Structure 1
Amino acid sequence: MFSCLILCGLRAFNLDTRHVIRKGGEPGSLFGFSLALHQQVNPNKVLLLIGAPRAKALKNQKSNVTGGLFKCEISESDNCERIEFDNDEDPRQESKQDQWMGVSVQSQGPGGKVVTCAHRYQKHSRVSQSVLGRCYVFSQNLTINYDDMDGGQWKFCEGRRGETDHAWYGVCQQGLGVTFTKDYHYVVFGAPGARNWKGMVRVEQKNITLIERGIYNDGPYEYENDNDNFKHPNNPVSAHSYLGFSLDTGHHIMKSRDLTVVAGAPRANHKGLVALLKKKFIEQLVVEQLLHGPGLGSSFGYDVAVVDLNGDGWQDIVVGAPYFYMKDTDIGGAVYVYINTAGQWDNVTPIRLNGTKDSVFGLAVENIGDVNQDSFNDIAVGAPQDDEGAGRVYIYHGSAQGIKTTPAQVGKEHSLRYFGYSLAGNMDLDGNSYPDLAVGSLSDAALIYRARPIVNIRKNITVSPEEIDLSVGCDSSFCFTVKACFNYTATSYNKSYFIEADGDRRKQGLNSRVIFLTKTHPESDVQFNGTLELQNQNAGQCVSINVGLKDNIKDKMRSVVFEVSAEIIKAKLKKMGNGLPQIMPVLDATQPRQAVTEVNFVKEGCKNKRICYSNLKMENSLFVYLCSAHNIPEFKLTYEKKDLAVKVTVTNKNGDDAYEAKLVGKFPEILSYSGVRSSNKQILCTANHNGSEADCLTSYSYFKVRYVFFFVFFYTRSLFFYCPISEAKPSQVSFGGVVRAETAMKTEEDAGSLINFTFRISNLWTPSISPPPVTLHIHWPRDNKDGKWLLYLVKVTSHGPEKIACSPQSEIHSLKDIWVCISKNLVLKQRYFQLKYSCRYLHFCSVKCVVLKCPLQGIDGTAVELRSRLWNSTFIEVTNCNFYLLFFPMQSWSAQNIILKSPDFTVKVPVSPDSDVAQFGVPWWIILIAVLAGILILALMVFLLWKCGFFRRSKQDDSIPRYHAVRIKKETPGHSDGKMKPGALEKKQWMTTWINDDYS
């Protein structure tokens, strides 16, 4: 493989980020709020115009903060000069405090005029105050000639009817949007606050040359003029729309030669719209087309740009919607690209470019010209709140299809905040014929990015001879020659190249099959690089390299691929004539980076020297015959039988040699690869770490024998044995009473006796791998041949690692919505069940059973519990009989071709009438012994009480103590030193006098 690597500063685009020109202003002045690129003709100079709407006032202005306009030369100097104008103020009639001069600035183009505005300029009197706005127009040398062309008298809202009424022109705010027409003919103003914030657009010209030509009635044109009823309900633009907030113009939008004004109204219908306006009559602009915003609150129309993206001669429209969002997504802001279809817009579906969340993507959109010189204009989109408020600028290239939706470059500047708030482009600032880009911010700074020249290097690579024939002396001394040729279209530059052989194989850890036979680079025999100087465009130069083939190579199937590319050598940068540092060109990112060719081996044993047609067929059979069920072999695993052998036969009858033939085997989880045996040792197999896969291939580089067989051996990783344990509580049940209909039952107990069945599954050998799915099958006696209930299933629960859902669900019943159904995955499947009873021991084979299937998620320790009721009424109808309910639980293994032998076992529950239970009562002699024992215990207790005197009575002459009690007051007055204390009470106790001295 040949490879020659390109080292460029930016992938896929040519705006230079290493030599950025920075212009700064006073802190807090909002220097960079608006931008325009301007070219003077006399003197010939290119300037960057920057608006600073919060700049301090000039010395003759009475206000403190008025805003201003600055001009900056395209140099590495950070200094910019303020343009002095509007340097007066009459406080009695006007106020320029916070007028925001420089809120917008536009240039008419090379040698054209410049306009800047202050949309918050105020005119006041004793009784009123109006925010009219005001604009200044400069000549191409940025001076003001106070004639009909220039000056500061561009304030068309002043002097109108309703000048002081906000519903008319009291808050006109002229100049928030302003632009020139591309033909240097008109200046277009926007006044978004006019007429109850509906907005207004005015197109005006004052060209003396036209008057001299006899054109007198060319404007001004307005949408809408004073004679229009702007409050009419059918008006296409309603109040509070902010029409004129953004503006652009162009021809070839609706008709090929007519002028169309594109005006944004970001508040229209709470979504936003863009109006396409045309001149009509003498003083009117009328709506030709409306582009409606798609999202509520998206501010569709916040900024607009007119640009031909696909090069068809018709101007396309780009609309910013910075506050567009989509719920539950990371979209924050959008740009809608409308591709013009020969002036027909009704069926145009816009292309939406999405920004990231909270980025206000689309706050600024700009036509930046053809920055990559591919004949299609490009656009820039500002997202000033992207990257947590740092801001980014996205560059999108135009194409024949309209626009490339993937950004070619994303620019950011970490030292600034709200980078990308304003944009200006489509003008060459450094004289290299590539348009450059200026980006503003809200950090009192603006940056200039210069476009790097595009170099398109055409590469061609050939190999001689075109094939590697090992039979004609192709070896390590010489095999073939590789020739790489280069030419370019651009300015003269030196190019370097880097050559690598068999790069793909070496990345995979394999050795290269070829070596370079040059002695100029002894450090490596598989890499080559060099330098070429291409002096003239389209005049190519070539380099030839001899290549040798290594000995004993095995890979003769795949071709040797050669890939060549080039890079521009970095040279010492020089100063240009304008004092700017020279910037390096960049390779055209739209062109392929590499030229590729390949050389094939001449194949031995093949009719076609390049392509081999083999006839490989494979058959396999089990070495030991196995029993089959449904034509599927079954392998029963036991302790003694754990290994399995498969015989594999491969044939290549009447076929070409099969190069690098490989047999890939994938095995079930329970089987693992053990080894391979072949009679002539031609087969080699390699297994993965757990033996679930094995790759087998011949010991030669190609399969040239016509017949081969070998044996692949497997061993079982482990065997699984499951032991089911079942129980029923109670172990014996009875029935009795009267027959009751199902509708008469009110509670669960009315149905009959409760029986709980528990089935536990234990794994006696813990496996080393996860076991296949195992299902517990329970044959449940549901009803008899007459459809009457036998055992009524109420509830199914599970205990274990995971919850088990048994099926079918319909077999868990509810009696008049009293009993609750728990299981949700039950499916009905009936089979016959044997009901055995002791009366004549007859077997009824017509009793219906259902099979309950319970998938065992975790094998060890899993338990399934079934709560049921014996249906009393059904059993009463069969009298004088004892019954046995028999259950047959068993297990199934769903893995294909693997049989799990599960033992059959039965759960037996005796069922008998109430009388049968009574006949097995307590024997009479046990009752007699119990009565006699009770009498004996009673006699013993009486004797003990007699001995303790419990039954002895008291005599009259027995001494009984008597006493005489005297009651005294509870409280008496207190005394101290023989004197009574007033108000003090002393508590007294009861006094008792015993008559008998023995108790005193």
Structure 2
Amino acid sequence: MLCVLRTDDVLVGAPLYMEREMESKPREVGRVYLYLQMAPLTFSKPVALTGTHTFGRFGTAIAPLGDVNQDGYNDVAVGCPFGGEEHGGRVLIFNGNRDVLKQSLTLSQELKAAWTPSGSLPGYGFTLRGGQDLDSNQYPDLIVGAFGAGEVSVYRSRAVVSVEAAMTLTPRILNPDDRQCHLPQTDIMVTCLKVDVCAAVSGVGIPSSVDLRAELQLDWLKGTRGGVKRVLFLDTQQPHHTGLLTLGHSRPRACLSYTIYLREEDEFRDKLTPISLALNYSLAPPPPGQYLPPVLNHYSSTFLQEHAYILLDCGDDNICVPDLQLSAHMDRSELVIGDDNLVTLTITAVNRGEGAYETELHTLIPPGADYIGVKRRVESLSQPNCEYKMVNESRMVLCDLGNPMVAGTELSVGLRFSVQRLEDAGPKISFELQIHSSNKDNSKSNPVSLSLSIVAKAQLDLRGVSHPSQVVLPFPHWEPKEKPVKEDDVGPQVTHIYELHNSGPSSIQEAELQVGWPYRFHDENLLYAMEIKTDGPISCRTNTSLNPLGLQISTLQDTPELLGFLRNTSAPHRHRRAVTTAQSSSGKTLNCTNISCLRIMCVVGRLDHGQSAVVKIRSRLWVHTFLPRRNYPYILNSTVSFMVTAMPYRIQPPTLPQHSTSMGTLVLWGTPDVSFAVPLWVIILAILLGLLVLAMLTLAMWKCGFFDRAQPPAKDDVSDQEQLTSDQTGDA
């Protein structure tokens, strides 16, 4: 019998039932069908109990047990003689309930031959007999047969203890200002409350004395979340305690009383969340020698919890509803790729409602930005503490705004960031800000998003030098040859150097640089190009070949001035000389508009901030061209231009940098103006040598006694001498 109806129910076993998970691979698991008799000879649709052990023959034996757990509903045992490991046999106990049609029967126990090492007994569960109280303890027992071993097993039911527990808190609301308890071994008064844990036991055939083990956990949710326990036991200052309640027929109800206290407010932050007190109870281990001890009701909860609250300044309902408002702005509107990009966020937080607890400002840091620190701006307002944290794999700055942030509070803070690593960034980045509190109602402020545009800017400087800047003809003891063999036979060397320098802050990916070289006038050579050298990420080509006459190239060393220029091309220049044009001098200008020019096309690779690309064009002035044109000065101008074609970023500027200029070499007849060619160090050295020669002459004159000659007598000495002479004459 499985329920309280007077009509009998029917259980039918189908031990060879196959469950088809797949059409080609059925599993033989067995099944038992339960038919509830709703009225005489009228049965319900069957309730199926399906086995779980393949080839276990579940349902071979079925035995009604009676009410094993004394809950008012009959229970049943089902044999599975070939289930379990090594097909050693199992017996499954199912408990009846009020609504079998909806909930089916509940599996409460699975028995196996426990006295064998493997837990197996051939045919265990092939036969079952139940419903009889063999030991007169008011509970039905069970006999299990194992035909393969020729043995039976007797299982005696244990008494079931039902417990009713309660926990009372006095008071439920803790006022931090109401300090009535003395903390042991200190002079500190604390806020406390009383906890009473009471329990009562009942059951059929239970022992005269039952020991109940009660474990009380304080603020137990904080333990699962890693928080600080806000309350502790007054005597032990620990968050947990285990007590023992002795109950029975003579004492069906017993209580334990504890005093717990609230820790100081600066020791924890959470003041809003209820303080959960959890009670877990169980039967204490039986004393040695006690046979067949009772068990707790399997269907009764052994867990109980109650909540205490901290008194808040939130009115009679003790519920705070804040009104958090957030505003922010930045000190710049755009970021330049490659720059330091220091950004300051000025943030103002206001609470116009009731107290906001565990209030924090959350600032989500975008990719490429790094938190530097707090910049204090408004000295009259209090300043929150801020720190960098990783929250759910997101980089954030968290600022503590108060616990609580009381009504009318206004806080201001400046957060400083450095935004770099923007090479792959989109058109803008954003800082996301919001105030969060632990209040249940209206816990967040309005979200604020501050966006910064990302731009790419590169300042490119084009400079050059002509060495020499002027050539004075004629050369003494030199005449040009009609058929030159060596480059020295043509004329003096003239070198132009061009530098493309990136002053940043952004980099460029590629640029084109073009040089127009004053090469020929009709059929006469002007500056005969010998070779082109480059330094940095640049490569050049020409529209015609260099040195078409195949002149023998001389081994020449660069002058100190030229070497100094080359050394400084890749470094930032504090004092840059402008491109020399020489157009202010009188003379006829020859450039690509009125002569034939050699076209030099150069491709410049990536130039980062502070890097340069240098082109050096070495040539010879073709003096034979200028001999028939004596006394006529000329300016030989080369033109140079560049145009950036790409930058290495997703973001491209609306216009790419470009510029053009010219540089000239003056050719004239007469006395050379050499003032330009005297380096500063030569002048300084000449002055020092002059001073040294003067010092040596002075020393030599002093050694020769030049400064030791006798001085002429003074007037008074002459008068005295004349008086002395006259006196001597009178005496004579």
Q: Normalising to structure 2: TM-score of the pair?
A: 0.48
Q: Which of the pair has more CA radius of gyration?
A: 2
Which structure has the highest strand share of the two? 2
Q: Normalising to structure 1: TM-score of the pair?
A: 0.36
